[in-house]
Structure 1
Amino acid sequence: MEKIRIGIIGCGSIAKHRHMPEYHANSGTIIAAVCDIAEDRLQGFAELYHAKAYTDYKELLADADVDAVSVCTPNYLHAPISIASLNAGKHVLCEKPMATSKEEALEMIEAAHKNGKKLMVAHNQRFVPSHKKAKELIEKGEAGKIYSFRTAFGHGGPEGWSADGKESWFFKKDQAFIGAMGDLGVHKTDLLRYVLGEEFAEVGAFVETSAKKNADVDDTAVCILKTESGVIGTLAASWSYVSKEDNSTIIYGEKAILRLEDDPVNSLIVQFANGDTVKYELGGIQTNDEGGQKSSGVINHFVDCIVNDQEPAIPGSEGMKSLEVILAALESSETKQIVKIN
């Protein structure tokens, strides 16, 4: 079978550590083209993967050799580049947050539909073994009625991870649009929607810039969320956690408490009301520190969807619903009101 020819648009850290090595490791794909405005960075990756090099994404999209693209640019470019790619007849895997507004997200979904192409948002938390197992247990009724939850995603900030360090676009509102809430918080809204199996109806939030001197976006946020059925909980997203990363979620149910990624060894611990405890060693969550040896699952799923002509697990509509929770949190912080999500 012909290999799917991939174009990578944006050659920063997420492309370097996740997209490129995972496409390279996938037997069904070949990295055919790479694109970045930083020529020195671009040439290094073009040589490494024997790919064509472009400094203008529109030229890459005009390349008939490219079947699908990963959009790994600063956030403000996600929607325009994804839409242009879909209109050019390419399948699109877009980094999160998928867009900077609901309107942009809807335009992306429409472009995918109109052109008959796949649009997937790279929400990798759905592929984490402990998260999949927790969803399965909740669906089976093992935890009974769910009452509440708390989830956190925090680390020391993008300067330790981004290709540009302290000068990173992550800190610039005109390019990032949103800080820790868009970088980390949107992962957790997506995870909670997935694990709980329902939508959020109301959000209240405090969103601050307290830790980063060079930032005009949020670096620390705490949200209170309520689902349509009345499950309530908190979500913390932060670039101000100076020790090891926190990526944990705890779900409190009638029959059990589920602790996800809360223990260094057991990625899922279920504490039942009757006193029993079940521990699952499912392999940890992928972290950025590992240099991406551990597959995120995102790339392989995207490729499978193209090969088998299936709808991705996280299509544009799912990415948009997770984005809407974040947008509501921003609105709540600004207006000092609880915001309803339609």
Structure 2
Amino acid sequence: MRCSLPFSRVTDDTRLRVGLIGTGYIGTFVGGQFDRHRDATVSAITEIDEERRERTAESFSVPEDTLYDDYREMLDDAALDAILIGTPHTLHYEQVLAGLDHGLHVFCDKPLATDLEHATEITERFEDSDRTLMVGYQRHLNPSFIAARDRFAESPPRWITAEITQNWLPRFVDAWRTDPDLSGGGMLYDTGSHLLDAVLWTSGLDPVRVSSKMTFVDDAERVDSEATVLIEFANGATANVTVSGDLPCVREHVHLWDDDGAVSLDGRQWEPRQVTEIDDENTESIPYIDHDNQTTKAEAFITAIENGSEPPATARDALAVTAVTEAAYESARADGDWVDVDLD
């Protein structure tokens, strides 16, 4: 259930008032999008690191009396309409629901949750509310992936391969991303989460079971540096998704095939992805993709709130990613046994 919530485009005091929870990359990057948007303002900040909190506050002109080291205090005290959650993965569940309990709209970085029951609870509660929840899966805003999704809207792919490499492990060996109590896992729950989402959202297919192999870097088998995930879909299609966080650089390749040909999405680092179309006669073409007018995450979030519409990346989209991810970890720890994906 949703209702539109228009904001004035004239005066600052009626703009969407956003509170930041966490001022790492997501908090400052997406927070900057809100700060620059004519219909929004960053009104409060929660950050446990005092120096970083003050630096971000100065950057966004946030007054000292709305700076906090505990998000619960911010939610109780600050006048807000929405929150941006850019904290480690395992903290999302409590923070998202706290935002809803305070009647706020929520933008949450991926993944939505690292526990399937938590992701289900969040999804059901927001779908029963009039608040907007958007998850930070940026490929839903990427023109290349949007074009591929449109291409397969009437003829779903039946064979998919997707891979991404990154120097993830050496970069984050001493960071929270390799601490499973904060990250929920390893490479698959971090950069790999975007790739799984890209496969599920672009194909529009319903996953039913998963088989996985992983290379774990800890004795408890919680933190993976590499993962290969085979997904079977309800229509019989399959996807082979491979992530490696122990290679020198970022390369991404996604290939989706149906009976009429294929679409390939390829790129390096975090540059825009190139789309190549292949027809059933093996003729390749590169369609024009306009990346200059790509909608920002903040813009998409604000538009969804104003129009009472679904955001580009919904809680249900994120729930599917968590379900597949959790099944993949379970399978890997069981020597690749097939594990059903529970989306009920």
> What TM-score do you get using the length of structure 1 for normalisation?
0.87
The counterpart of 1:49, out of the listed 60, 65, 89, is 60
| Matched-pair contact (CA < 8 Å) for 1:206–1:333 | yes
| Matched-pair contact (CA < 8 Å) for 1:205–1:223 | yes
Distance 1:109 1:259 in 2: 31
Are 1:9 and 2:21 an aligned pair? yes
The counterpart of 2:182, out of the listed 158, 163, 175, is 175
Distance 1:150 1:248 in 2: 8
Are 1:298 and 2:307 an aligned pair? no
SS in 1 for 2:113: coil
Equivalent residue number for residue 289 of structure 1: none
Q: How has the CA–CA distance of structure 1 residues 168 and 206 changed in structure 2, closer, same or farther, with 3 Å as cutoff?
A: same
Are 1:24 and 2:35 an aligned pair? yes
The counterpart of 1:279, out of the listed 286, 296, 306, is 286
Equivalent residue number for residue 269 of structure 1: 276
Q: How has the CA–CA distance of structure 1 residues 14 and 187 changed in structure 2, closer, same or farther, with 3 Å as cutoff?
A: same
Equivalent residue number for residue 240 of structure 1: 246
What is the number of equivalent residue pairs in this alignment?
323
CA deviations 1:231-272 (Å, max 9, x no partner) are 1121112211213x1222011222212111258887100111
The counterpart of 1:225, out of the listed 221, 226, 231, is 231
Query: Structure 2 matches for 1:113-132, cutoff 5 A?
Result: 113=127, 115-132=129-146
Distance 1:6 1:261 in 2: 35
Query: Structure 2 matches for 1:183-202, cutoff 5 A?
Result: 183-202=190-209
SS in 2 for 1:167: coil
Query: Structure 2 matches for 1:108-147, cutoff 5 A?
Result: 108-113=122-127, 115-141=129-155, 146-147=157-158
RMSD, aligned CA = 2.4
The counterpart of 1:91, out of the listed 99, 102, 105, is 105
Report the CA distance between 1:15 and its aligned residue: 1.7
Equivalent residue number for residue 287 of structure 1: none
Amino acid at match of 1:257: A
SS in 2 for 1:204: strand
Equivalent residue number for residue 60 of structure 1: 74
Percent identical among aligned pairs is: 22
Equivalent residue number for residue 4 of structure 2: none
Equivalent residue number for residue 339 of structure 1: 339
Q: How has the CA–CA distance of structure 1 residues 153 and 113 changed in structure 2, closer, same or farther, with 3 Å as cutoff?
A: same
SS in 2 for 1:235: strand
Report the CA distance between 1:295 and its aligned residue: 6.3
Distance 2:282 2:90 in 1: 49
Distance 1:274 1:251 in 2: 16
CA deviations 1:109-136 (Å, max 9, x no partner) are 2443455311121111111111110111
| Matched-pair contact (CA < 8 Å) for 2:163–2:243 | yes
| Matched-pair contact (CA < 8 Å) for 1:89–1:115 | no
Distance 1:34 1:77 in 2: 16
CA deviations 1:139-193 (Å, max 9, x no partner) are 254xxx6331111122111764xxxx54311010111111111112222222222
Q: How has the CA–CA distance of structure 1 residues 295 and 196 changed in structure 2, closer, same or farther, with 3 Å as cutoff?
A: closer
Q: How has the CA–CA distance of structure 1 residues 4 and 190 changed in structure 2, closer, same or farther, with 3 Å as cutoff?
A: same
Amino acid at match of 1:14: I
Report the CA distance between 1:299 and its aligned residue: 2.0
Structure 1 runs of 4+ off > 6 angstroms?
263-266, 293-296
The counterpart of 2:48, out of the listed 19, 34, 37, is 37
The counterpart of 2:160, out of the listed 143, 149, 164, is 149
Q: How has the CA–CA distance of structure 1 residues 257 and 109 changed in structure 2, closer, same or farther, with 3 Å as cutoff?
A: closer
Distance 1:318 1:277 in 2: 31
Report the CA distance between 1:281 and its aligned residue: 4.2
| Matched-pair contact (CA < 8 Å) for 1:258–1:269 | yes
Q: How has the CA–CA distance of structure 1 residues 25 and 306 changed in structure 2, closer, same or farther, with 3 Å as cutoff?
A: same
Report the CA distance between 1:315 and its aligned residue: 2.1
Q: How has the CA–CA distance of structure 1 residues 69 and 265 changed in structure 2, closer, same or farther, with 3 Å as cutoff?
A: closer
> What TM-score do you get using the length of structure 2 for normalisation?
0.87
SS in 2 for 1:260: strand
Amino acid at match of 2:61: H
Distance 2:67 2:93 in 1: 22
| Matched-pair contact (CA < 8 Å) for 2:167–2:245 | yes
Q: How has the CA–CA distance of structure 1 residues 44 and 158 changed in structure 2, closer, same or farther, with 3 Å as cutoff?
A: farther
Distance 2:317 2:32 in 1: 26
Q: How has the CA–CA distance of structure 1 residues 98 and 276 changed in structure 2, closer, same or farther, with 3 Å as cutoff?
A: same
Report the CA distance between 1:48 and its aligned residue: 0.9
**Runs (5+) with no aligned partner, structure 1:** 285-292
Q: State which drifts further: 35-44 or 23-32.
A: 23-32
